[in-house]
């Protein structure tokens, strides 16, 4: 198996049962579901994975379960962000011991998050691990803004920080600014795939997102990188209503789990608190979106 972190990585949900305990059977099924949809790799315990709502023991068991189920078929990136740096290091070491290809780390929320403070955190982590770090740039979650200048400097000073997960709009402008300053990163977009086509056009290496129809993003990526840009545009434009609708602020995670349930990927769409429920109108709008983009059976793999 190639451990290269590039292409379309699905950020996996963490399924829960009716008692809001991790549904291990659904988790294994979800892994195989995503691989059947041609994901280049998996990213687990991100925001969609509700990592902040899991105990440390649950997080470690999720890693072990996913790695055992993947069995070397694709690379796996493990989200290890945590308010305590020592815990980040411990989770990182456990992830790599289990076979992870990389760990995704966002700076913790802090008072007065200066560049020097953020650099010190990544430097401390990198002193304890020498495997790949995916730097997660997600200011809406942690309140930490990392400029293109700072991210370029980070790449120069942290040798194993060679992957960047950007979720700081405007994404395309930030990709361009970073590419103008350094060529050391594989850059991944996010935001539900809403700007995948434009991100690729700016030099992104792929995306990491929880969009429930992984095979659509894979088709866009493959046609674009094969030089068939018009076909990539056609696929992207056809399914953009679904991509846009799924990634609504506040309820996007709830919609994604509902879509995964409708696709037969997980048994239950429940989220742990806090979360925003979706109403009957949203359920009906999902059906309407399916009709508009030509999806008659969401459980079936879409072919192109």
Residues 6+ apart with CB under 8 A from 27: 14, 15, 62, 65, 66, 69
Q: Which two tokens stand for residue 142?
A: 């942690």
Coil, helix or strand at residue 18: coil
- Residue closest to 237 by CA, chosen among 219, 251, 250, 249: 219
Q: Where are the domains of the chain?
A: 7-293
Query: What does DSSP say about strands 133-137 and 76-79: parallel, antiparallel, or unpaired?
Result: unpaired
For 92, the 3-state DSSP assignment is helix
Q: Under CATH, what is the fold of the domain 7-293?
A: TIM Barrel (3.20.20)
Q: How many CA atoms lie within 13 A of 232 on its CB side?
A: 19
Rounded to whole angstroms, how far apart are CA atoms 135 and 117? 15
Report the pLDDT value the prediction gives residue 178, as an integer from 0 to 100. Answer: 96
Please give the sequence-ordered ranges of beta strands (E in DSSP) within 170-304, or none if there are none: 186-189, 206-209
Pair 15, 27: CB distance under 8 Å: yes
This prediction has a pTM of: 0.96
Nearest to 297 by CA among 259, 270, 266: 259
Q: How many whole angstroms separate alpha carbon 7 and alpha carbon 112?
A: 35
Q: What is the pLDDT along the chain (304 residues), one digit of tens a residue?
A: 448 999 999 999 999 999 999 999 999 999 999 999 999 999 999 999 999 999 999 999 999 999 999 999 999 999 999 999 999 999 999 999 999 999 999 999 999 999 999 999 999 999 999 999 999 999 988 999 999 999 999 999 999 999 999 999 999 999 999 999 999 999 999 899 999 999 999 999 999 999 999 999 999 999 999 999 999 999 999 999 999 999 999 999 999 999 999 999 999 999 999 999 999 999 999 999 999 999 999 999 999 9
* Distance of alpha carbon 186 from alpha carbon 15, whole angstroms: 29
Distance CA 81, CA 262 (A): 30
Cβ-contact 27, 65 below 8 angstroms: yes
Closest CA to 253 of 266, 239, 240: 266
Task: List 163's β-bridge partners, or say none.
Answer: 134, 186
pLDDT the model gives residue 2 = 46
Beta-carbon contacts of residue 56 (< 8 Å; ≥ 6 apart): 87, 91
Continuous segment of H or E residues that includes residue 208: strand 206-209
> What is the distance between the alpha carbons of residues 22 and 272, in angstroms, rounded to a whole number?
10
Contact (Cβ atoms closer than 8 angstroms) between residue 137 and residue 170: no
Residue with tokens 């280049």: 40
Per-residue confidence (pLDDT) for residue 141, from 0 to 100: 87
> CB of 185 within 8 A of CB of 154?
no
- Bridge partners of residue 104, in order along the sequence: 79, 134
* DSSP code string of 127-140: TT--S-EEEEE-HH
What distance lies between CA 76 and its chain's CA centroid? 11
């Amino acid at each position: 198996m190639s451990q290269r972190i590039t292409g379309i990585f699905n950020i996996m949900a963490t399924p829960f049962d009716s008692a809001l305990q991790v549904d291990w059977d659904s988790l294994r099924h979800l892994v195989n579901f995503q691989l059947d949809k041609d994901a280049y790799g998996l990213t687990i315990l991100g925001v969609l994975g509700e990592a902040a709502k899991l105990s440390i023991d649950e997080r470690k068991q999720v890693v072990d379960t996913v790695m055992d189920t993947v069995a070397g078929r694709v690379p796996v990136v493990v989200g290890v962000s945590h308010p305590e740096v020592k815990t980040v290091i411990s989770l990182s070491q456990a992830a790599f011991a289990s076979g992870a290809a990389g760990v995704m780390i966002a700076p913790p929320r802090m008072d007065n998050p200066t560049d020097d403070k953020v650099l010190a955190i990544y430097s401390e982590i990198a002193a304890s691990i020498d495997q790949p770090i995916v730097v997660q740039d997600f200011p809406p979650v942690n309140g930490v803004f990392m400029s293109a200048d700072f991210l370029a400097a980070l790449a120069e000073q942290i040798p194993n920080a060679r992957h960047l997960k950007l979720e700081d709009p405007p994404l395309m402008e930030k990709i361009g600014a970073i590419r103008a300053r350094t060529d050391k990163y594989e850059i991944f977009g996010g935001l539900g795939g809403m700007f995948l086509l434009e991100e690729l056009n700016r030099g992104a290496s792929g995306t990491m997102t929880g969009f429930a129809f992984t095979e659509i993003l894979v088709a866009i990526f493959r046609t674009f990188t094969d030089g068939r840009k018009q076909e990539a545009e056609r696929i992207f434009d056809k399914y953009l209503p679904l991509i846009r609708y799924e990634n609504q602020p506040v309820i996007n995670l709830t919609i994604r789990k509902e879509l995964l349930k409708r696709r037969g990927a997980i048994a239950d769409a429940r989220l742990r608190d806090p979360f925003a429920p979706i109403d009957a109108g949203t359920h009906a709008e999902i059906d309407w979106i399916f009709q508009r983009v030509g999806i008659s059976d969401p459980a079936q793999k879409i072919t192109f």
